[in-house]
């Protein structure tokens, strides 16, 4: 008979996973010359980066549980969640342990803790609790943040959730009523400094807002904040004072809706090879730039009033990322799936949305720019911003990735709640299906996987508040981990719905297709693991 597991077991396991992955990271750094030769060892590096991310999530989950010792549910989430994460780290590294020269059998010293914490009965108990409480999110927060979460939840339940299914099924555009209300409530300015018209409540408030909106709808709720967030952070990192004064207050109120345009039809992950050109020009006596070229997958480009376009200002392709600059490009708004705009001097911009199985409500466009004029003062950083676009875009993406961690948690939360209700009401073989141990186990896993995703995302948000640049790798880890969890949790939820989980009438079918996009954008998963997370982990110092 095993003794009951305690939080001390979870901490011992989190520490063991941290030590194991720290050793793997150090060996991997040696193997790759401090990250210089990642591409020669991609499979090993990917496994090490992912295991280190799981270990980081385990530590964050323990930290959260230890900070709220009276919260018995969070303690149980941490015990079961950390045990699974510790096992996952070990199993992920096992196939490459020989390549890394790791001879020791890991976890010998925490064998008993792993047996106690990793007992399947712990996960089933969690599942029963989740079903009894309808999966409600009661993560402990201080009074101010709890108030933020409660008020956004009320708004999202009332205004967003009732429209979400219709918008998804008919592939409609998110209604202005939602955007206007979000603007009035200040949701677009949560992490913009007060000096520029924002509310400066910090990244955790922004994440909680995103989570609650995404719980109601990924596309016509939580994702609306992502684009302004990316542009705001790029402006704060490298905009001139006049640009900050001009744009940030309008982003904070939602007056200006933004699209972000990096990807091109032939260039995705290899951003340094972008080809869309910006050339100096004077149009109607005004100095500026004209943009020519194709872009792809530009979400919200129709409805947006401005597109943040990363374009090549140095025609010498060998300059790579150093030849790119970031522009704030004005355009008229359009509500449909295709548009064409013209400027008096002959500039043209055309867009056509690519149909997608999920993430509907904002529409993602292929764009064609032809001599499209942008005034000089809309190059971020103006003269000083020439050639800095890549760096500024990446500063924006660090914030975008954190925000996407929040989107993933919100979507997972929606799947958890819907599944908890379903398994309590659906009966087979004469019993509600939650009475079956395997159902309890799956539901319990959904809950502790989400808890780990939430813990690392909140840890990243808090770290970003302290130092955005240093916290960028952690934000990338949060995005990497939470997005995978969203895919896993929504699919588990669908499984527990049986055939009805495949029916459009049940929201879980939408959650599944929505979640699948999360590991793709803002750095597709293999690139995020290799080029962002691993690079940060492996570089010296
Ligand atoms: C719904 C949706 C919305 C989007 N919204 C936006 C948006 O608003 N703005 C925007 O700019 N972009 C957007 N994107 C684009 C998204 O960011 C890109 O799809 C993503 O960056 C990957 O680029 P790609 O599709 O060209 O894939 P590729 O770069 O072609 O990669 C495909 C696969 O090749 C492999 N691969 C590539 N390079 C390497 C390598 N060096 N090492 C190992 N494996 C490699 C990986 O497995 C990768 O998954 C969106 C995409 C979608 C689907």
- 224 contacts 404 by C-beta, under 8 angstroms: no
What residue owns the CA closest to ligand 1's atom 7?
298
Q: How far is the CA of 42 from the centre of ligand 1 (A)?
A: 17
Q: What is the pLDDT of residues 297-321, one digit of tens each?
A: 999 999 999 999 999 999 999 999 9
pLDDT of residue 190: 87
Query: CB of 374 within 8 A of CB of 290?
Result: yes
Q: How far apart are the first and last CA of the chain?
A: 47
Stretches in the chain below the pLDDT threshold 70: 1
Of 336, 329, 362, 366, give the one whose Cα is nearest residue 350.
366
pLDDT given for residue 191 in this prediction = 81
pLDDT of residue 106: 87
To test the ligand 1 pocket, which listed residue (37, 263, 337, 525) has its Cβ within 8 A of the most ligand atoms? Answer: 263
How many angstroms from the chain centroid is the CA of residue 467?
Answer: 19
* Ligand 1 binding pocket includes 217 (Cβ within 6 Å): no
- Cβ 313 vs Cβ 374: under 8 Å: no
Closest to 359 (Cα-Cα) out of 519, 186, 152: 519
Burial of 284 (0-12, 13-18, 19+ CB in 10 A): exposed
**CA-nearest residue, atom 46 of ligand 1:** 526
- Predicted TM-score (pTM) of the model is 0.97
Q: Which residues of 140-176 are buried (b: 16+ CB within 10 A; e: fewer)?
A: ebeeebeebbeebbebbeebbbebbeebbeeeebbbe
Q: Using the 8-state DSSP alphabet, how is residue 318 labeled?
A: G
3-state secondary structure of 459: helix
Q: Which residues are catalytic?
A: 522
Encode pLDDT of 109-124 as tens digits: 999 999 999 999 999 9
Q: Is the CB of 269 under 6 A from ligand 1?
A: yes
- Name the residue of 229, 261, 520 whose CB sits within 8 Å of the most ligand 1 atoms, as the mutation to test its pocket: 520
340 CA distance to ligand 1 centroid (A)? 25
Q: What's 219's DSSP letter?
A: T
The pLDDT assigned to 86 comes to 98
Taking phi over 0 as left and psi of -120 to 50 as alpha, with beta for the rest, 467 belongs to beta
Q: Please give the DSSP secondary-structure letter assigned to residue 105.
A: P
Asked if residue 305 has its Cβ within 6 Å of ligand 1, the reply is no
**Closest C-alpha residue for ligand 1 atom 50:** 297
**What gap in Å lies between CA 174 and CA 464, rounded to an integer?**
29
359 lines ligand 1 (CB under 6 A): yes
Could you identify the atom of ligand 1 that is nearest to the CA of residue 295?
Answer: 11
Does residue 261 line the site of ligand 1, with CB under 6 A?
Answer: yes
Work out which ligand 1 atom sits closest to the CA atom of 262. 11
Q: Are 31 and 100 in contact (CB under 8 A)?
A: yes
CB atoms within 10 A of CB 471: 21
Residue 108 burial (C-beta neighbours within 10 Å; 0-12, 13-18, 19+): exposed
Our answer on whether the CB atom of 298 is closer than 6 Å to any ligand 1 atom is: yes
Does the C-beta of 324 come closer than 6 Å to ligand 1? no
């Amino acid at each position: 008979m095993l003794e009951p597991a305690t939080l001390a077991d979870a901490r011992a396991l989190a520490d063991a996973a941290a030590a194991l992955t720290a050793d793997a990271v150090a060996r991997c750094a040696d193997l790759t010359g401090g990250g210089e030769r990642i591409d020669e060892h991609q499979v090993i590096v990917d496994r090490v980066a992912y295991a280190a991310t799981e270990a980081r999530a385990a530590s964050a989950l323990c930290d959260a549980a230890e900070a709220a010792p009276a919260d018995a549910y969070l303690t149980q989430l941490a015990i079961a969640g950390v045990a699974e994460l510790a096992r996952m780290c070990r199993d992920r590294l096992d196939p490459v342990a020989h390549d890394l020269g790791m001879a020791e059998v890991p976890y010998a010293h925490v064998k008993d803790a792993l047996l106690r914490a990793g007992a399947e009965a712990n996960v089933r108990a969690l599942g029963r609790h989740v079903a009894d409480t309808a999966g409600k999110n009661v993560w402990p927060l201080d009074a101010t943040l709890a108030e933020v979460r409660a008020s956004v939840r009320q708004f999202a339940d009332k205004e967003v959730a009732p429209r979400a299914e219709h918008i998804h099924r008919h592939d409609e555009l998110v209604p202005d009523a939602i955007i206007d209300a979000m603007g009035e409530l200040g949701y677009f300015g949560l992490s913009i400094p007060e000096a520029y018209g924002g509310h400066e409540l910090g990244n955790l408030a922004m994440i909680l807002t995103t989570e609650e909106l995404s719980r109601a709808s990924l596309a016509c709720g939580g994702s609306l904040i992502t684009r302004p967030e990316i542009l705001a952070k790029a402006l704060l990192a490298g905009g001139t004072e006049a640009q900050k004064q001009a744009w940030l207050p309008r982003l904070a109120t939602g007056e200006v809706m933004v699209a972000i345009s990096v990807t091109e039809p032939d260039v995705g992950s290899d951003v340094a090879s972008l080809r869309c050109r910006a050339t100096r020009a004077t149009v109607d006596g005004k100095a500026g730039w004209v943009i020519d070229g194709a872009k792809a997958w530009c979400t919200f480009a129709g409805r947006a009033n401005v597109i943040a376009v990363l374009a090549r200002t140095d025609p010498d392709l060998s300059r790579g990322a150093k030849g790119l600059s970031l522009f704030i490009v004005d355009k008229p708004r359009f509500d449909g799936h295709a548009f064409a705009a013209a400027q008096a001097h002959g500039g043209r911009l055309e867009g056509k949305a690519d149909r997608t199985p999920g993430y509907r409500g904002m529409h993602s466009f292929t764009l064609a720019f032809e001599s499209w004029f942008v005034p000089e003062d809309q190059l971020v950083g103006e003269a000083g911003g020439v050639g800095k676009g890549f760096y500024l875009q990446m500063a924006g993406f660090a914030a975008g990735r954190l925000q996407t961690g929040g989107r993933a948690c919100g979507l997972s939360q929606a799947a958890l709640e819907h599944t908890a209700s379903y398994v309590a009401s659906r009966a087979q073989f004469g019993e509600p299906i939650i009475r079956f141990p395997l159902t309890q186990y799956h539901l319990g896993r959904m809950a502790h996987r989400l808890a780990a995703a939430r813990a690392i995302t909140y840890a990243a948000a808090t770290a970003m508040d302290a130092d955005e640049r240093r916290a960028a790798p952690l934000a990338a880890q949060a995005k990497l981990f939470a997005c995978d969890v969203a895919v896993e949790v929504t699919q588990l939820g669908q499984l527990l719905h049986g055939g009805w989980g495949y029916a459009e009438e049940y929201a879980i079918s939408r959650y599944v297709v929505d979640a699948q996009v999360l590991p793709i954008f803002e750095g597709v998963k293999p690139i995020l693991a290799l080029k962002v997370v691993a690079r940060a982990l492996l570089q010296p110092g």
